[in-house]
Amino acid sequence: MTNPPRIDSHQHFWRLARGDYGWLTPALGSIHRDFAPADLAPHLAEHGIMSTILVQAAPTEAETRFLLDIAAVTPFVAGVVGWADFEAPDAPARIAALAAAPQLVGLRPMVQDIPDPGWLARPGLAPAFAALNEHGLVFDALVKPPQIPALIALLDRETELPVVVDHGAKPDLTGADLTQWRDGIAALAARPNTFCKLSGLVTEAGPDWSDATLRPAVAHLIACFGPQRLLWGSDWPVATLRAPYADWLAAAERLIATLPEADRAAIFGGNAARLYLAKHGRNRAKSVSDGSSSRS
pLDDT digits (tens, 9 = 90+) for 133-158: 999 999 999 999 999 999 999 999 99
The length of the chain in residues reads 296
d(CA 21, CA 66): 13
- Nearest by Cα to 248 from 25, 49, 70, 27: 49
* Beta-carbon contacts of residue 200 (< 8 Å; ≥ 6 apart): 10, 166, 167, 168, 170, 233, 235, 238, 239
pTM above 0.85, yes or no: yes
Task: State the helix-helix crossing angle for 211-225 and 245-255, rounded to 10 degrees.
Answer: 60
Taking Cα atoms as reference points, which of 131, 140, 90 lies closest to residue 110? 140
Q: What is the pLDDT of residues 156-212, one digit of tens each?
A: 999 999 999 999 999 999 988 999 999 999 999 999 999 999 999 999 998 999 999
Half-sphere exposure in the Cβ direction for 122 (13 Å, CA): 13
Residue 220 reports pLDDT greater than 60: yes
Nearest to 251 by CA among 196, 279, 211, 203: 211
Summarize the confidence of residues 204-230 as an average pLDDT.
Answer: 96
Answer whether 116's CB lies under 8 Å from 93's CB. Answer: no
Indicate if the alpha-carbon torsion angle 232, 236, 242, 244 is positive or negative: positive
Q: Where do the H-state alpha helices sit in 190-269?
A: 201-205, 211-225, 245-255, 261-265
Q: Where are the alpha helices (DSSP H) in 100-190?
A: 126-134, 148-157, 179-189
Give the C-alpha separation, 11 to 236, whole Å. Answer: 5
Q: Check pLDDT > 70 for residue 287.
A: no
Confidence of residue 2 (pLDDT cuts 50, 70, 90): confident
Mean pLDDT of 113-117: 96
Report the alpha-carbon angle 120-124-130, nearest 5.
Answer: 80
**259 secondary structure, DSSP code:** S
| Residues of the chain above pLDDT 90, percent | 91
As a whole number of angstroms, the distance between CA 3 and CA 18 comes to 39
CB-based contact 195:221 (threshold 8 Å): no
Asked whether 247 and 207 are in contact (CB, 8 A), the reply is no
β-bridge mates for residue 194, sequence order = 163
Residue 159 CB neighbour total at 10 angstroms: 9
